[in-house]
């Protein structure tokens, strides 16, 4: 069965800390997405990756296609970063998004 | 530029009823996909429409259906509602099929079945 695994499931950090969220998947993909969901439900697309690394402000996303692994890093974390971060992949075999269970991040002042 | 608009935001229905949810994509986006989010199962793909045709379907019963109009607006319908259909229903739009151009999500419709 094609799977997307995220770790950790829950994460608490102090403001200013460097945060890493991991995502592993089981078979070949055409793209990997990192999404952010705040309480209330709205989802924001942070990154779409098929190789290498992308950076946007304090957020960095990397992907290693050979190891089937991606990481989302948050530098100098802030309480407004508190949200659920979701990894989603598009398998080589189709377009549909397949989601990890999410990582719930709480950044305390 | 307007984002993806989902209506209604909240809905309460009784078991056995049917419901129709609407999604208006970003202007120029031709692909609309639908997702169900529950605490137990997380986010799951329902279906994707492009140029008024369903291009991909997730593993949901036939009670879940959808359509896309010529202006790319999409509706999804759930018939014979069950308590387990209570969920946040999200749609996302994209310029083309798949996520090659990225997805923009709506705020969702929270459906409660009683």
Neighbouring-strand partners of residue A11: A105
Q: Quick check: A42 contacting B, CB < 8 Å?
A: yes
Neighbouring-strand partners of residue B79: none
What are the phi and psi torsion angles at A32 (to 5°)?
A: -125, 140
Average pLDDT over residues B55-78: 95
| Geometric angle at alpha carbon B76, from B74 and B81, rounded to 5° | 165
Tell me which residue of B45, B39, B52, B53 sits closest to B84, measured CA to CA.
B39
| pLDDT at B97 > cutoff 90 | no
Neighbouring-strand partners of residue A74: A19, A59
CA A43/CA A55 separation, integer angstroms: 19
The contacts of residue A57 (CB under 8 Å, 6+ apart) are none
pLDDT bucket at B30, cuts 50 / 70 / 90: very high
Q: What pLDDT does A30 receive?
A: 87
Asked if B104 lies within 8 A of A45 by C-beta distance, the reply is: yes
Q: What pLDDT does B99 receive?
A: 61
Q: What pLDDT does A11 receive?
A: 97
| pLDDT at B1 > cutoff 70 | no
Q: One digit per residue, pLDDT tens: chain A, 109 residues? A: 668 999 999 999 999 999 999 999 988 888 999 999 998 778 999 999 999 999 999 999 999 999 999 999 999 999 999 999 999 998 877 668 899 999 999 999 9
- Interface contacts (A, B; CB < 8 Å): 60
| Geometric angle at alpha carbon A18, from A12 and A24, rounded to 5° | 80
Asked if A96 lies within 8 A of B48 by C-beta distance, the reply is: yes
Q: B47-64, pLDDT tens digit by residue?
A: 999 999 998 899 999 999
Tell me which residue of A102, A91, A104, A103 sits closest to A1, measured CA to CA.
A91
| pLDDT at B98 > cutoff 70 | no
Helix (H, G, I), strand (E, B) or coil at A50: coil
* B contacts of A88 (beta carbons < 8 Å): 43
Q: What pLDDT does B91 receive?
A: 96
The answer to whether residues A4 and A100 touch, using CB atoms and an 8 Å cutoff, is yes
């Amino acid at each position: 069965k094609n799977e997307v695994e995220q770790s950790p499931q829950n994460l608490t950090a102090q403001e200013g800390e460097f945060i890493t969220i991991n995502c592993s998947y089981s078979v070949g993909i055409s793209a990997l997405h990192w999404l952010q969901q705040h309480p209330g439900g709205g989802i924001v697309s942070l990154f779409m990756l098929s190789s290498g690394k992308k950076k946007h402000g304090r957020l960095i996303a990397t992907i290693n296609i050979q190891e089937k692994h991606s990481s989302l890093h948050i530098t100098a974390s802030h309480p407004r970063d508190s949200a659920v971060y979701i990894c989603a992949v598009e398998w080589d075999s189709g377009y549909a998004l397949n989601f990890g269970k999410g990582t719930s991040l709480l950044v305390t002042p | 530029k307007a984002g993806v608009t989902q209506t209604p935001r909240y809905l309460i229905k009784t078991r056995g009823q049917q419901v129709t949810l609407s999604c208006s994509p970003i202007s120029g986006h031709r692909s609309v996909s639908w997702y169900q989010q529950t605490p137990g199962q997380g986010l799951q793909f329902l279906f994707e429409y492009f140029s008024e045709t369903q291009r991909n379907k997730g593993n949901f019963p036939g009670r879940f259906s959808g359509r896309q109009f010529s202006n790319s607006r999409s509706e999804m319908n759930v018939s014979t509602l069950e308590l387990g259909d209570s969920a946040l229903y999200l749609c996302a739009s994209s310029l083309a099929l798949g996520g090659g151009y990225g997805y923009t999500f709506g705020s969702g419709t929270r459906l409660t079945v009683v």
